Chains A and B, each alone.
Chain A
Amino acid sequence: MSAINPKSAKPAGHPGRTVAILAIALVAFSALAILQSATSFKLGLDLRGGTSVTLQPRATAGGRITSSAIDQAVSIIRQRVNSLGVAESEVSAQGTGINRQIVISVPGATGRHIVDLVGQTAELRFRQVLVTGAAAATSASTDTKTASALPAGVTPALNAQYAALDCSNVKNRQGGGGDNPNAALVTCNRDGTAKYILAPAEVLGSDVSKATAAIDQQGGSGWYVLLNFTGNGTSKFGAMTTRVTKLASPQNQAAIVLDGLVISAPRINEAIVSGSAQITGNFTQTAATDLSNVLKYGALPLAFDRGEVQQISPTLGADQLRAGLLAGAIGLILVILYSLLYYKGLGLVSVGSLAVAGAITVLSFLLLGKWIGFTLTLAGIAGAIVSIGITADSFIVYFERLRDEVREGRSLRTAVETGWARARRTILVADFVSLIASILLYFFAVGSVRGFAFTLGLTTVVDLVVVFFFTKPLVSVLSRVNFYANGSRWSGFSQKSLGVAPSKIADSFNGKEA
C-alpha cells in the first residue's frame, strides 16, 4: 500500500558529488563576481539618501495616453535629469503598456530641485534659424560684428549671449519649458554639436496634426518623416516657408525646437502650403521614428501628476541600512539558536544550509546588480530577512519527515531517502505557492513593493537550490556517520527526542529494514 516502494527508497546518486558540484559552482560564481568587479551592493535611494519622483501620466483634453507618448516623455525627462550631471541618476518607466509610471531617481542631496525640473511640460515649436555655428563658445573679440552686419532680428545682446554659449557643456543643454515663444531664443541642439540663434516661434506643436516615419521605396532617399498640419497650422507653416525659402543659408532653415533645445533644423526647399511636409535626410529608421515621435508628441499630450516624491537624507539612509542589517543579524542568530536547541546535531545541517543559502543570495545580489541593475532597497532587505524563516522552514519540513520515518521504525539511512521523497513534494508545492505570491506582487505593485517581491522570489529559488543540492545530500552523507546513525544523544535522533520506546529504536537501528 505504501506509496514509496523500496526500490526508490535506496540512496540515490552520489550525495558527496552533488555537494562538490555546488561548491565548485559557488566558487566559480564568486570568481565571476570578482572578475566583473561586482564586489559591492547597489544600494537603493532609501539606503543611501536621494530623491525619487514617480510621475503618473494623465491625459489632457483631446489627448490620449499612448505607449509611445510615454516613451517620448521618458526621453525628454531623461534629457533634463542627465543635464544635472549627477552620476547614477535614473529615469525609467515601470509597468506595462500605457499603464506605466515614470520613476526618476537621483542619489544624494543634490537632486532636490529635480522635482521642479521634471514637472514642467515640454513644448514643441518651429522657429526660423537666424544664426548657427559650432558648439564651442567663441570669444567676443573674434566675433565682433557691427549691429548693421547682423542678420535681421539678431540684436547685439543676443549675439553676445550666443558667443558666450558653450554647447559642449551638458549643463547648458538642460532644456526646460521656459522659452518664450514670442521672443528670439539662443540655444543648443540636443546632442550639443551646434548652437543657434532662433527667431520667435511661428508654428506651435499644437498645429501639428500627424507625423509618421516612412520609407521611400523607389526614390532611394531612405527614411523620411511625413508631417501634416491642422488647418490653422497649414496657413502658418505655409507663410513661414514661403518667406524663408527665398533667404540664404542658414536662414532658410526651420528649427524644430523641443523643450527649448533644437531637435532638427531642416532646410526648407520650397514653400509648403499644402499642409503636408516631408523632412528628408540621412535618417536611420530609429532616427526617423524618434523625430516623428517628437513632432507627434512634442506638445506633450501628456501631463503628469506627481504621484510620489520621496526625499531621503543620507543620514536617514545610513540609519535604515544599519537597522536592516541589524534586524537581519538578530533574526539569523535567533533562527540558528532555535535550530540548534531543538534539532541539536541536525540543527548543524540547518545552520550550514542557511550559510550556503546566504552565500548564494549575496552572490546573486552582487551579480544581478551588475547584470540587470538590481538595487537593494530597505524593502528588499526585509524580504531577504523574512526569507531566512521561510528557507529554514523547508529544512524543518524535511527534518520532521525524517524523524517521522525513524519513528515508523526505519533506519536513518533508509529514512533519509523515504522521508526525502515525501518532503520533497511538500517543499516543492509550498515554495511554488511562495513563488506565485512574489511574481504577482512584482507585477501588481509599484516602487518599493517590487523590491520586496523580487528578493522574496529570488530567495525562494535559492531555497530550492539549497535544499536539493546541499541539505539533502549533506543529510545523506551524515546518515552514514555513526554519531547520527546510532541516534546519539546530541544528534537530534535520540530515542528521547523522538519519543520512541527504547526497544523499538534498537530494533530499527539494527538494520532491520534490509
Chain B
Amino acid sequence: MSKLSGLGGRLYRGETSIDFIGKRRRWYALSGLVIIISAIALGTQGLKLGIEFKGGASFTVSKAGATIAEAQSAIKAAGITGESIVQKVGSNKISVQTGALSNAESNALQTQLAQTFAVDINSIDTTSIGPSWGKEITHKALYGLFGFIIVVMLYLALAFEPKMAIAAIVAVIHDVFITVGIYALVGFDVTPATVIGFLTILGYSLYDTVVVFDKVRENTRSVTSVGKVTYSDAANLAVNQTLVRSFNTSLIALLPVASILFVGAGLLGAGTLKDLSLALFVGLATGTYSSIFVATPILAQLREREPAMKALTKRIQSRAGLTSRDAASDSAVASTNVLGEAVDTKSNYQRGPRNQPKRKRR
C-alpha cells in the first residue's frame, strides 16, 4: 500500500510520468478496435432483450427437486403455444418464460404450475409485461439518455469550458458503445435494471472525468503566460497527478457494486440486483479508462489546435533545440518517457503547476 502512496508522490512531482497524451494514438487505436468489435457484435448478435422490453411473462416456482420436464408438461397442459423458455435458477427454483399472455392464459398457467409442483398458487412469483409496454420503456430510456447528455454537456460547458464538455461527452459515448458491445458479445440479458445501471454509469464516468479535468484546468490555466510547458504536457502531468485518485475512487466505487453483484448473482440468481450491478461493474471499468485514456487526450488535441497553444508549443520546441516538425504529439513524446524518470525539460515545472517563487528549487 505504501509503495502505491510513494508512487503517488512521484507521480505528483512528475518524477514518474506515464505518457497518456503523447501516446494517444495507441489508446485511440485500442478504443477504436474495441468499438469496432462492439459494433460487429451488436450487428451480428444484437442485444438479448429481457421480457420487459419485448413483452412476455415469467413465472418462478420455488420447489426443491422440480424438473424442467415437469414445467414443460405444465405449459403444454395449460394450452400455451408458442415459444417458451424453462430454466433452473439456483438449486430449488424453476423459471418459465413465455411470450405475452392474456390474463386468462396467465391464470391457467399459474394454476397448472401450482398443481404440477404441488405448491400454493400464491407462492409463484410472476411478472407479465404487455407488448406495448416494452416500447414505452425503451422510448423513456432513450429520452433519458439524450436528455442526460444534453443537460450535462451544457452544464460542463458552463462549469468548465466548451472543449472540456465535448471531450467529456465523447468519453461518455465511448463508454456507452463499449458497454453495449460487451452486452451484445457476452449475451447478458438487458432489462430495465440494466438500463438504470447504464444511466448511472454515465453519471459516474463523468464524475471521474470531472476530477481529472479540474486538475487539468488548474495546471493549464497559465501555460501561455509562463511559457515553459505545452498544454499537452501540463495536461499529462494533471492526469498523472490524479492517477492515484482516479484509481482509488474507482476501486472504492467498485467495491460496493461488486458486493451487490456477488450477492445478487450468488444468492438470488437473477433479477434487479444482478442486472443493475453487472451494468455498473462493466461501465465503471470503461468509465475510468476513458477519463484517462480518451477524455484528456481529446481535450489536449482540441486545445493544441488553438493558435495561442500552437505558438506556445513551437516556442518550447525551439527552446528545447528540437526542429519544429509536427506540432503537438511529437513534443509530448520528446519530453517524457513512459514510466521513466523525467527528462531534463521536466525539472522546470516539477514542483507542480502553481508558481511558488518563495521556495527555492531542490
Contacts and interface: CB of A to CB of B under 8 A. Distances in A.
B207 A433 contact: yes
29 contacts: A1-B222, A119-B103, A307-B133, A308-B133, A311-B127, A315-B123, A319-B268, A320-B271, A327-B259, A327-B263, A328-B259, A331-B255, A339-B252, A379-B193, A397-B211, A404-B12, A408-B352, A408-B354, A409-B359, A429-B214, A433-B207, A438-B203, A441-B144, A441-B196, A449-B196, A453-B196, A498-B9, A499-B7, A499-B9
A75 interface: no
A440 B214 contact: no
B148 A440 contact: yes
Interface in B116-160: 121-130, 132-133, 136-137, 140-141, 143-144, 147-148, 151-152, 155-156, 159-160
B273 A388 contact: no
B227 to A, nearest CB: 13
Contacts of A324: 273
Contacts of B248: 342, 396, 400
A332 B7 CA distance: 27
Interface string B242-284: 1011001101111111111011100110011100110010000
Contacts of B52: 308
A16 interface: no
Interface of A: 1-3, 46, 54, 56, 58, 109, 112, 115-116, 119, 305-313, 315-316, 319-320, 322-324, 326-328, 330-332, 334-335, 338-339, 341-342, 378-379, 382, 385-386, 388-390, 392-393, 396-397, 400, 403-404, 407-409, 422, 425-426, 429-430, 432-434, 436-438, 440-441, 444-449, 452-453, 456, 494, 496-501, 504
Given A308-B133, A396-B248, A422-B218, A448 B8 contact: no
A378 B273 CA distance: 8
B193 A1 contact: no
B155 A452 contact: no
B199 A437 contact: yes
Contacts of A497: 1-2, 5-6
Contacts of A392: 252-253
B196 A452 contact: yes
A308 B132 CA distance: 10
Nearest to A503: B362
B221 interface: yes
Interface string B2-17: 1011111110110000
Give the interface SS of chain A, mostly helix, strand, loop or mixed. helix
User: What are the 7 A-B residue pairs with the smallest beta carbon separation, nearest first?
Assistant: A499-B9, A331-B256, A437-B203, A389-B253, A444-B144, A109-B122, A499-B6
Nearest to A109: B122
Contact of A500 (B9, B204, B356): B9
A306 B60 CA distance: 20
A434 B207 contact: yes
Interface residues of B, number: 94
A1 B354 contact: yes
Contacts of A305: 130, 132-133
B84 interface: no
B329 interface: no
Contacts of A339: 252
Contacts of A437: 148, 152, 199-200, 202-203, 206
Contacts of A496: 2, 5-6
Given A309-B128, A389-B255, A441-B144, A404 B241 contact: yes
A29 to B, nearest CB: 25
Given A56-B132, A327-B273, A433-B203, A407 B257 contact: no
A56 B134 CA distance: 11
B131 to A, nearest CB: 8
Given A1-B222, A326-B267, A449-B193, 17 more contacts: A1-B355, A115-B103, A315-B123, A316-B60, A320-B268, A326-B263, A328-B256, A330-B263, A335-B252, A335-B256, A342-B4, A379-B193, A382-B260, A389-B256, A400-B245, A426-B214, A430-B210
A397 B271 CA distance: 33
A426 B147 contact: no
B335 interface: no
Contacts of A109: 122-123
Contacts of B260: 327, 331, 382, 385-386
A499 B7 CA distance: 7
B192 interface: yes
Contacts of B147: 440, 444
Contact of B210 (A319, A429, A441): A429
A378 B351 CA distance: 49
A342 B200 contact: no
A342 B1 contact: yes
A56 B175 CA distance: 33
A73 B204 CA distance: 40
A403 B7 CA distance: 13
B354 A2 contact: yes
Contacts of A323: 263-264, 267-268, 273
Given A323-B268, A342-B248, A385-B260, A390 B126 contact: no
Contacts of B9: 407, 498-500
Nearest to B355: A1
B62 interface: yes
A330 B207 contact: no
B332 to A, nearest CB: 23
Nearest to A452: B196
B16 to A, nearest CB: 9
Given A305-B130, A313-B125, A389-B253, A444 B143 contact: yes
Contacts of A404: 12, 241, 352
B237 interface: no
Given A319-B267, A334-B259, A445-B140, A426 B193 contact: no
